[in-house]
Amino acid sequence: MDMESPRRRQSSDGTYDPEGNPEAAAHPGTEASAAGSPAGTLPRQQRAPGRGGGHQPPVSHPGPADPKAGTWSAPPSAASQTVAAPGAGPSLADWLRTPRPDAEPGIWRFGYKPLPPPDPDRIPARQLISGAVVSFLIGWLIWSLLYNNYLGNYWMWPLYVLTPDEWVGGDAFDVASHMYLGLVIAGLAVVFGRLGRWPEVARRARGRVIRIAASRAEARETPEVARPVPAPAPEHDPVEWPELRVAGAAEAAERLAGEVRGGHMSDVDHARIRRAWESVRSQPGRLGAFVDTVLSHGAAACAHPSGQRSLPQDRAARHDLRLRQVRIGTAPDSERNPHPYRGAGVALEPSLLGTSALVVGPPASGKTERVVRPVTESLCLQALAGQAAVVAVTARGARLAPDDSFDAVVRVGDRDSVHDLDLYGGTSDPDEAAGMLAEALVGDLAATLPGGDSRRAATTLAQLIGPFQAAHGSFPDVQQLRELLDGSPSALDGLRAALEEEGAAAQLRELDAHRRQSGRPDDPRPLLADRIALLDRPAFAGFFQPEGAGEKRTASPRPLSLRALEHPLRVRIDLPEHGHAEASRILARLVLAQFVECVTARRDQSLFAGLVLDDASQTVTPQSLRGLQRLRSVEAGVLLTLRGLDDVPQPLRGSLLGAVGCRMVCSGVTPWDAEHFAEVWGKEWVETRDVTNRQLVSDEPFTRVMHAVRRLATGRHVTAESVTVRKVQRERWSASELANDLPPGHAVLSLMTVGGERTPPILAKLGE
């Protein structure tokens, strides 16, 4: 495979409202409530941002962290933080002015220079040069024959006809002769230059010299001496914030422009303030508060509730927050790539991640370091800009992204963890809670369950947790749920007595239905009990405590509900992979099920919600595949990684590749995995050329002698070539090519936007 090196291409108090509302400071009661709540938590009626009343706007100095309420603690002064540049390279002003032309999906548009359209009649360079050389030699030969009179003097007759007789033999005739010879040479040059395409040779040579010079200049050039981007007219200069000036906010525009020119604004600040301005445009009544906030805080206006204005660590990838892109690699200038992608950067963005993405590759193939980490970092930056919310699930912990990059870190099984994972997803509906929990416990065994999915298991759970909630005011914790599923007489009799005391006739009927179905051959209760027992381990003591569980709640970490994804929340969930692998798979399925339910129930879907599953082994189920397809219309998406498709049940492998819009296969995959990708990418029409050599046999004596002499000289028979050109259908990428020909560090990916625009498979070098 030809793997050439890629071509270079280049509120008046400054608080943040999740909807971009600068009037968030108009709710001072929130601060008092946060400060006065025990252990820094909010009362129940204020801790359900997904169940009524809209957003709970953060305040300038909230109490201790409470991600469930969408409020986090902020440092004393957000404006005092250091401002990070948009990456090693140009200043923010040059970064803003750099052109970002329209391009195909997945192309890194920052400084992108589209290639000229392909020329189907373009002559190969070798053929062009050989033709130019041959035409020059023929022209030189003809001139030599003419000049030395080997062809006679007839070509001189125009000179004698047009020259006066009195000039013959004089100096004037010599001058006329030289002029005539020059005209003949020029005529020969024009004729043979056109035949040999000399202008095309010169044009290509000049272009190559320019590219080489530009490449050498770029390789000497450092970020400190990078050439500045010319400033456009003020009405089109993004540094001057012309949209604010047109809307009558000239003072705010001047303040922000001064922050840019003075180096006090970062790309995150710029993206965050633009996000707030978009909300002002939709609700013009907020203009005054927006202007006051900008004049008071400058680049620190409308800050994220955490107070951070950038990530605390160096960035692992190149980001363009104006377009919300993150660069993950470069497409080599290879014939295997579509023409617009050759030599261009490859990038991901919410419009692509909104169709969900699947990355398959063996360990050390680069899928985590070169894809998952940049995407997680990009979503964290977008969350700081008020554009996204992200949940990252991993067993690698801080190796995926440092703790300081997140608002909440849930370390399941770690007694030092500040936050806990809500087992029931923050819902108060027992049927919804049972559905999510059943998907987590037995979703991977759906094919073996009655009905082929987890709905029967969800009904069994609802028949227990619904009556328990009616009797005790909260859902059961892990230990209590295990006792109920085990059929403990004391637990069931105690629950029945509590329901009879409450007079809950409907819940008693649920409990009676559960008793009648117990013991049947298709009863899922024993399987549910075995699976919940994996979470009822000493290592997880104090975790998974439901809200309102009484005294147990005070000694446990604060629960985290994904209902808070209506806010720009950054969450990392560390799974106990070592020693509790099966429990980790249950928790991963639980997070995926809760994510789908919570984001589809959001009232405000202006934020992109992203879930990153660093290892999605045994998390793909029929129900989760249906959930992935629902995410496209609710501004959300999931990034899944797998070591191989063997981690997915055989009947679901094709459905998984069809459910996700973005597919990536890394180098080192097995041939049977590659076969699935080759099949889903399909075939295309290609033009093939079949060359056949046929030996020439002649009956003429002279011809036979010449053939014999040629065979003695070359050692080969005299043959004639026959070329057959035809169009056939071939796989875009065959399974053999994907499994055996991908160099290390490379991947083949196809992308799809939420609007339905697709790309063919693209070969990319990851990490460049």
Q: What residue type is assigned to position 393 of the chain? A: V
Alpha carbon 305 to its chain centroid, in Å, reads: 25
Contact (Cβ atoms closer than 8 angstroms) between residue 386 and residue 272? yes
Q: How far apart are CA 180 and CA 158, in angstroms?
A: 9
Is the per-residue pLDDT at 429 higher than 50? yes
Contact (Cβ atoms closer than 8 angstroms) between residue 328 and residue 766? yes
Please tell me the predicted confidence (pLDDT) of residue 504.
87
Give residue for tokens 């160099």.
743
Please tell me the predicted confidence (pLDDT) of residue 555.
55
Which of 630, 117, 676, 67 lies closest to 390, judged by CA? 67
Please tell me the predicted confidence (pLDDT) of residue 44.
30
The residues near 598 (Cβ < 8 Å, ≥ 6 apart) are: 50, 425, 426, 561, 562, 563, 565
**491 falls in which pLDDT band (50, 70, 90)?**
very high
Q: Are strands 662-666 and 746-750 parallel, antiparallel or unpaired?
A: antiparallel
Q: Which of 234-243, 523-532, 546-555, 618-627 bottoms out in mean pLDDT, i.e. has the lowest? A: 546-555
**759 falls in which pLDDT band (50, 70, 90)?**
very high
Please tell me the predicted confidence (pLDDT) of residue 317.
93
The full set of domain ranges for the chain reads 11-98+236-310, 125-196, 428-539
Q: Which of 28-42, 87-101, 203-217 bottoms out in mean pLDDT, i.e. has the lowest? A: 28-42
Q: What is the DSSP letter of 276?
A: H
Please tell me the predicted confidence (pLDDT) of residue 571.
96
Please tell me the predicted confidence (pLDDT) of residue 653.
93
Q: Are strands 558-560 and 683-695 parallel, antiparallel or unpaired?
A: unpaired
Beta-bridged to residue 684, according to DSSP, are 730
Is the per-residue pLDDT at 207 higher than 90? no
Q: How far apart are CA 270 and CA 206, in angstroms?
A: 41
Give residue for tokens 């099949």.
679
Please tell me the predicted confidence (pLDDT) of residue 220.
78
Q: What residue type is assigned to position 339 of the chain? A: H
Alpha-helical regions (H) of 473-521: 478-485, 489-502, 505-517
Is the per-residue pLDDT at 6 higher than 70? no
Contact (Cβ atoms closer than 8 angstroms) between residue 391 and residue 636? no
The residues near 552 (Cβ < 8 Å, ≥ 6 apart) are: 477, 542, 545
pLDDT in tens, 25-38: 333 233 322 323 32
Question: For residue 69, how many other CB atoms are within 10 A of its CB?
Answer: 26
Collapse the DSSP code of 48 into the 3-class scheme (helix H, G, I; strand E, B; otherwise coil) and give the result.
coil
Please tell me the predicted confidence (pLDDT) of residue 761.
96
Q: Which of 241-245, 540-544, 753-757 bottoms out in mean pLDDT, i.e. has the lowest? A: 540-544
Using a 10 angstrom Cβ sphere, with 0-12 exposed, 13-18 middle and 19 or more buried, the burial of residue 472 is: middle
Beta-bridged to residue 329, according to DSSP, are 346, 766
Q: What is the DSSP letter of 530?
A: H
Query: Percent helix, strand, coil in the chain (nearest 5)?
Result: 50, 15, 40
CA distances from 761 to 9, 337, 661, 743 (A): 21, 8, 12, 16
Q: What is the 3-state secondary structure (H, E, C) of 224-245?
A: HHCCCCCCCCHHHCHHHCHHHH
Contact (Cβ atoms closer than 8 angstroms) between residue 389 and residue 525? no
Q: How many CA atoms lie within 13 A of 410 on its CB side?
A: 32
**86 falls in which pLDDT band (50, 70, 90)?**
low
pLDDT in tens, 341-368: 999 999 999 999 999 999 999 998 999 9
**DSSP states of 365-389:** SSTIIIIIHHHHHHHHHHHHTTSEE
Is the per-residue pLDDT at 623 higher than 50? yes
The residues near 696 (Cβ < 8 Å, ≥ 6 apart) are: 707, 717, 718, 719, 720
Beta strand segments in 312-445, E: 319-320, 325-330, 345-348, 357-360, 388-394, 408-411, 419-421
CA distances from 371 to 500, 558, 641, 668, 735 (A): 56, 31, 10, 16, 22
Which of 426, 503, 424 lies closest to 464, judged by CA? 424
Q: How far apart are CA 660 and CA 611, in angstroms?
A: 14
Contact (Cβ atoms closer than 8 angstroms) between residue 388 and residue 350? yes
Contact (Cβ atoms closer than 8 angstroms) between residue 613 and residue 639? yes
Give residue for tokens 């080192």.
668
- State the average pLDDT over residues 129-136: 86
Q: What is the DSSP letter of 16?
A: -
- Furthest C-alpha separation in the chain: 139
Is the per-residue pLDDT at 574 higher than 50? yes
Share of the chain above pLDDT 70, in %: 84
Collapse the DSSP code of 684 into the 3-class scheme (helix H, G, I; strand E, B; otherwise coil) and give the result.
strand
Q: For residues 451 and 114, which has the higher predicted lDDT (pLDDT)? A: 114
**713 falls in which pLDDT band (50, 70, 90)?**
low
Written as six digits, the tokens of 9 are 């291409």
Q: For residues 48 and 659, which has the higher predicted lDDT (pLDDT)? A: 659
Q: How far apart are CA 517 and CA 688, in angstroms?
A: 66
Q: What residue type is assigned to position 272 of the chain? A: R
CA distances from 604 to 52, 280, 351, 708 (A): 12, 16, 17, 86
pLDDT in tens, 280-323: 998 888 999 999 999 999 999 999 999 999 998 889 999 999 99
Contact (Cβ atoms closer than 8 angstroms) between residue 390 and residue 376? yes
Q: How far apart are CA 388 and CA 160, in angstroms?
A: 86
**10 falls in which pLDDT band (50, 70, 90)?**
very low
Q: How far apart are CA 423 and CA 547, in angstroms?
A: 9
Please tell me the predicted confidence (pLDDT) of residue 121.
66
Q: What residue type is assigned to position 292 of the chain? A: D
Question: For residue 742, how many other CB atoms are within 10 A of its CB?
Answer: 23
